[in-house]
Amino acid sequence: MRYNRSIDGARWRRSRWAGFLTILGLPLALALGVSAGGPAQRENNRLVVVRRMDLPLTVRASGVVASTARTVIRCKVEKLRAGRVATTILSMLPEGSVVRRGDVIGRLDASGHEELRTNQCLVVSQARADHRRAELDLEAARVGLREYRDGRSHLERLLLQGRIETAKTQVTTMTDRVGWSRRMLSRGYVSRAQIAAESGSLERSRAEQARAEREYANFERYSMPRAMKELESQVEKARATFEFQTARLRREKERLASLDRQVEMCTIRAPHDGVVLYAHKPKRAVRIEEGMTVRQEQELFYLPDPSRLEVQVLLHETVIAKVRPGMRAKVRTEWGGGSIEGTLLVIDPLPVADRSPWSSGEVKNYMGRIPLDSRRRTITPGSTVEVEIALGVLRDRLVVPAEAVRREGGRDVCYVQTRDGLEERPVSVGEADASWQEVFEGIAEGEQVALPR
């Protein structure tokens, strides 16, 4: 992370320079162009005039462009059976690729699911045939019920009623015949045997009438209701079979549709415009690459939304007291291309610990967020940028170049050009920017200070 040349940074560089020269055993005066016997000559040093000017204060830090809204693309392919991973990655776009909605990001192995889908197509065809057969059986049962209720039952009723009427007619005929024969017996025209025979026929006719009436009564009370119940039972059985086959066909179709979706999801497409980032998990030693096996719901890609970008800048704890939300900032990409104006929107209240191996202990940095105009297409998520935050302007301050102030013997000094050469003077310093250092006392406006070569 880079910062502006503040007073602490300048002092540290000066002390490091002096310490380096001390270790080498060289006289400090010689390194500064001053001889052991007196000040160095003017022509051996670069001189700068001390002057007054407006001193703009800035903080420089590095940042990363990120999206405030990103889509996590996971593996949605189900595993084929227990204990087996879902699939493997066949191909995918390079990380950082810019995609449009619907573009193919990667492809997973779909061979296992395609085989299941082929088998499921056969199962669906069989289920469709069984469903059609059950539908026809139900229709036949309904037709049989209507046929008996509206046709055969009426026909059987009429036949039984006809037998009753025939029996009644026979009884009436035989009754008249027996009466006539008895009248003729008194006159001697018929014999008693004939009367006995006709009386027997009359009794048989009456018995036939009674039997026909009983059959009719049994038909109305038992035969017809039983036949109706049996036919209704057949209809209900056919309906239950039809409903089962309907549910089975629907279930098999849903299974086929699920396999179709599984095969389709093996082709991973971008849900919206964005930049493809791999969902690596360094702490878990997981690296997304072609040929790796993936599981259901495993994160594969991140797709930041390029229309909602912000710069996440790390602010060192030494400058956090000077920075506040609302300050203007300039964002520059590391490869150039101009700067983008922005405003520091918020600073996270909790620090982000930096446990880099080259850091001496735990370094505290605070995350600041600078929203970017979504219409700017010069930067993309993941880009590294340099952020310069304007702290304000100090008006009419006495300044010298930052490198003219050196830390020696526990104090800040400048080497001032006099008629006799360079003179070492202690100075009191204040704020600083990338190039200039504010000086309170020790030198005056118009004097010349020496810069290290």
**More confident position, 243 or 307:** 243
CA distance 263 to 16: 64
CA distance 372 to 363: 28
Q: What is the model's pLDDT at position 66? A: 81
Q: What percent of the chain has pLDDT over 90?
A: 41
Domain 73-108+266-301 has CATH 2.60.120.10: no
Q: Identify the bridge partners of residue 62 per DSSP, sorted by sequence position.
A: 386
Q: Is the pLDDT of residue 29 over 80?
A: no
Q: Which structure tokens are listed for 430?
A: 């204040």
Distances in Å between the alpha carbon of 332 and those of 58, 347, 377, 429? 14, 20, 13, 30
CA distance 371 to 87: 39
Average pLDDT over residues 87-100: 90
pLDDT in tens, 341-399: 888 888 888 888 655 555 555 668 888 998 887 555 567 777 788 888 888 888 989 99
Q: What is the model's pLDDT at position 96? A: 83
Q: What is the model's pLDDT at position 107? A: 95
CA 301 and chain centroid, separation: 10
Q: What is the model's pLDDT at position 356? A: 52
Sheet holding 277-278, edge to edge: 70-74, 299-304, 277-278
Q: Which structure tokens are listed for 341?
A: 């104006």
Beta-carbon contacts of 106 under 8 Å, excluding residues fewer than 6 positions away, are 89, 90, 91, 92, 93, 268, 300, 301
pLDDT in tens, 110-132: 998 899 999 999 999 999 999 99
CA 122 and chain centroid, separation: 34
Indicate the CATH number of 7-67+305-451 among 3.30.360.10, 2.40.30.170, 3.90.1150.10, 2.130.10.10.
Answer: 2.40.30.170
Task: With cut-offs at 50, 70 and 90, classify the pLDDT of residue 270.
Answer: very high
- Going by DSSP bridges, is the β-strand pair 267-269/98-99 parallel, antiparallel, or unpaired? unpaired
pTM: 0.55
214, 389, 425, 397: which is closest to 313 by C-alpha?
Answer: 389
Sign of CA dihedral 415, 418, 421, 423: negative
Mean pLDDT value across the chain: 83
Q: Is the pLDDT of residue 22 over 60?
A: no
